[in-house]
Amino acid sequence: MQSEVVKLGYQIVAISSYSPENLQASDGKDKPDYSLYSDADGKFIQSPGIVLKAPDKYSGMLNEKLGGLN
């Protein structure tokens, strides 16, 4: 699927809520073949009005991965 999208002239990008530091740590493991950006402060995702509320049981892990920014 990804190769078909690229053949059509599109570029695939991903935006993560992980902090840049945590993104770099995961990025080094399995280097994706698409651009990966951090939106740890949530400004990008909030601009079109998209909001996500994670279950309370994930708050500790998310706070760590998001660097306490989101």
Give pLDDT tens digits for 22-43: 877 655 556 667 888 888 888 8
User: Dihedral angle at the C-alpha atoms of 35, 2, 31, 21, nearest 10 degrees?
Assistant: 40
How many CB atoms lie under 10 A from the CB of residue 7?
8
The yes-or-no verdict on residue 11 having pLDDT over 80 is yes
pLDDT bucket at 9, cuts 50 / 70 / 90: very high
pTM over 0.75: no
- Per-residue pLDDT, averaged over 52-62, amounts to 77
